[in-house]
């Protein structure tokens, strides 16, 4: 039997198994879901065993466990290390979902006329991670595994992968491989396949401004005492100038300068601004002056407020001059910016912007390094050939705006480049209400992954 016909005849089961996985709410950020996150690790381990690994184990960490599995058919053959994550983002705000986030349903959409699975984690990353389990099963049940395969599926990606770094450094021998394969990014479309060759880094900060020692009557005190929310807004407004340039001194010092040829190539990827605006219902795009939308996302750093709170936000009106104001502010970074250094520059500059009428506290949350993947490796050529087999055309290399901090960590500690073999679409609403993953993307992804293993084994001969 061919891999394609095996996938075709088992597709209902492949989908139903994923639906079962999606029913477990593995939200790593919220301790309320701890039992479910642990249950999900068990689910992943069992699914690896059923798919045919020789051994699978749940490796404890200081946080959520890492599921490890492997099938070594011949030590002289190349080894593919698959990385993915079984944890998901919180589903909030629940009221904006058309169906319940942990009760998956299949519905058609404009981008997915053949149906998409709606659930938190459908695309990021349970659906994409599970493709690897099913591709592995498919190979074992049909043509046979052409290379050794190891799985490392973690449960803390959405909260910064803090314990994964420790695990990787302590298990270098066990994780020894020739390439790392990750499906946790997006592609342009099913008609225009692409492979991600760059990811941005991240520096995530939280700030607090403290004014008077208690909330005050805004009539009795208003106008005479600094309002931390007003001050916070002024300070945030100073972080970017009118050209969308970040004003933190030293912020751009290490930003990689790309040649005009590179930029031209990058901009050759199809991008329809009108369609883009229409899908988001915005009248104009916005960003750093002098760069296209593709460049603003792929090769330029940025700064965004992710949340802001303080004062009275309940029903009706309350005349209060709040004692505190808070915001979460994150910066996406590009090669060769260092997130620790950027966090430090942010802290110094933000603190310097505060008037003496308020106290300011800045804390750094998790961060991560950016990554660039070379396109002249065996892994990239195998990925390209696999996509050519299943999509009928070679992929466009793209640079995504999101972050997977462990990609750079793998480069440093295992000396291995990752192949970012993503099959999601930007419109799949990851991290948003109504996240979904196309059935076609899922099935085609499984098939393409089987081809990757075959090509990678062949090219290593
Ligand atoms: N899968 C995403 C990253 C991603 C999405 C990369 C789309 C490229 C395209 C991952 O799960 C994620 O959400 N990463 C976080 C960073 C992490 C440290 C919390 C992100 O990018 O915000
Ligand atoms: Mn992800
Ligand atoms: Mn994510």
User: Quick one: DSSP state of residue 394?
Assistant: P
> Ligand 1 pocket, 330 CB below 6 A?
no
The verdict on the CB of residue 435 being under 6 Å from ligand 1 is no
Which of ligand 1's atoms lies nearest the C-alpha of 196? 8
Tell how far the Cα of 237 is from the centroid of ligand 2, in angstroms.
31
Contact 232, 430 (CB under 8 A): no
Spatial neighbors of 381 by CB under 8 A, at least 6 apart, are 455, 459
Q: Whose CA is nearest to atom 14 of ligand 1?
A: 403
- Mutating to test ligand 1, I would choose from 331, 403, 423, 424 the residue with most ligand atoms within 8 A of its C-beta, which is 403
Which of 156, 404, 419 is the best mutation target for the ligand 1 pocket, counting ligand atoms within 8 Å of the beta carbon and taking the most?
Answer: 404
Ligand 1 within 6 A of 125 CB? yes
Beta pairing partners, 182? 83, 420
Ligand nearest to the CA of 159: 1
* 7 CB within 6 A, ligand 1: no
Largest CA distance in the chain: 81
State the catalytic residues: 87, 157
Q: What are phi and psi of 83, to 5 degrees?
A: -115, 140
What dihedral angle (degrees, nearest 10) is formed by the CA atoms of 245, 251, 257, 262? Answer: -60
Q: Which domains does the chain have, with CATH numbers?
A: 3-199+370-459 (3.40.630.10), 201-255+301-368 (3.30.70.360)
The pLDDT assigned to 461 comes to 86
Per-residue pLDDT of the chain (461 residues; tens, 9 = 90+): 999 999 999 999 999 999 999 999 999 999 999 999 999 999 999 999 999 999 999 999 999 999 999 999 999 999 999 999 999 999 999 999 999 999 999 999 999 999 999 999 999 999 999 999 999 999 999 999 999 999 999 999 999 999 999 999 999 999 999 999 999 999 999 999 999 999 999 999 999 999 999 999 999 999 999 999 999 999 999 999 999 999 999 999 999 999 999 999 999 999 999 999 999 999 999 999 999 999 999 999 999 999 999 999 999 999 999 999 999 999 999 999 999 999 999 999 999 999 999 999 999 998 999 999 999 999 999 999 999 999 999 999 999 999 999 999 999 999 999 999 999 999 999 999 999 999 999 999 999 999 999 999 999 98
Ligand in closest contact with the CA of 365: 1
Nearest CA to ligand 1 atom 16: 403
- Give the DSSP H or E segment for 327: strand 324-333
How remote is the CA of residue 393 from the centroid of ligand 3, in Å? 28
331-354 burial, b for 16+ CB within 10 Å, e for fewer?
Answer: bbbbbebbbeebbebbbebbeebb
Contact 366 CB / ligand 1 (< 6 Å)? yes
pTM of the predicted protein model: 0.94
174 ligand 1 Cβ < 6 A? no
Return the HEC string of 150-189. EEEEECCHHHCCHHHHHHHHHCCCCCCCCEEEECCCECCC
């Amino acid at each position: 039997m061919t891999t394609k016909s095996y996938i075709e005849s088992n597709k209902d089961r492949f989908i139903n198994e994923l639906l079962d996985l999606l029913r477990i709410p593995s939200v790593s950020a919220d301790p309320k879901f701890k039992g479910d996150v642990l249950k999900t690790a068990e689910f992943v381990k069992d699914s690896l065993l059923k798919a045919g690994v020789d051994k699978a184990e749940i490796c404890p960490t200081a946080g959520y466990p890492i599921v490890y599995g492997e099938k070594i058919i011949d030590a002289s053959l190349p080894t593919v290390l698959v990385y993915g994550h079984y944890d998901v983002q919180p589903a909030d705000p629940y009221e904006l979902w058309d169906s319940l986030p942990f009760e998956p349903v299949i519905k058609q959409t404009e981008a997915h006329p053949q149906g998409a699975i709606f659930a938190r984690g459908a695309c990021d990353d349970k659906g994409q991670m599970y493709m690897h389990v099913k591709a592995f099963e498919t190979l074992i049940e049909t043509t046979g595994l052409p290379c050794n395969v190891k799985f490392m599926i973690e449960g803390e990606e959405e909260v910064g992968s803090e314990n994964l770094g420790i695990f990787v450094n302590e298990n270098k021998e066990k994780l020894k491989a020739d390439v790392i394969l990750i499906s946790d990014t997006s592609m342009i479309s099913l008609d225009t396949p692409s492979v991600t060759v760059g990811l941005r880094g991240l520096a995530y900060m939280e700030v607090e401004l403290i004014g008077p020692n208690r909330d005050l009557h805004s009539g009795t005190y208003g106008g005479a005492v600094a309002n931390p929310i007003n001050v916070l807004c002024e300070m945030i407004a100073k972080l970017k100038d009118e050209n969308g340039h970040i004003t933190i001194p030293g912020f751009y010092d290490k930003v990689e300068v790309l040649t005009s040829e590179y930029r031209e190539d990058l901009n050759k990827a199809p991008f329809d601004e009108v369609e883009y605006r229409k899908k988001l219902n915005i009248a104009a795009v916005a960003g750093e002056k002098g760069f296209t939308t593709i460049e603003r996302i792929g090769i330029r750093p940025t700064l965004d407020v992710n949340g802001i709170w303080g004062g009275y936000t309940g029903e009706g009106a309350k005349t209060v001059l709040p004692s505190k104001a808070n915001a979460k502010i994150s910066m996406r970074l590009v090669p060769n910016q260092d997130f620790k250094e950027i966090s430090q520059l942010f802290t110094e500059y933000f603190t310097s912007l505060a008037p003496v009428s308020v106290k300011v506290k800045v804390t750094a949350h998790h961060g991560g390094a950016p990554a660039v993947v070379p396109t002249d490796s065996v892994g990239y050529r195998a990925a390209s050939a696999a996509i050519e087999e299943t999509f009928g055309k070679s992929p466009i290399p793209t640079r995504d705006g999101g972050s997977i901090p462990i990609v750079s960590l793998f480069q440093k500690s295992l000396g291995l480049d990752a192949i970012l073999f993503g099959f999601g679409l930007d419109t799949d609403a990851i991290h948003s209400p109504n996240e979904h993953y196309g059935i076609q993307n899922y099935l085609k992804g499984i098939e393409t992954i089987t081809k990757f293993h075959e090509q990678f084994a062949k090219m290593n001969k």
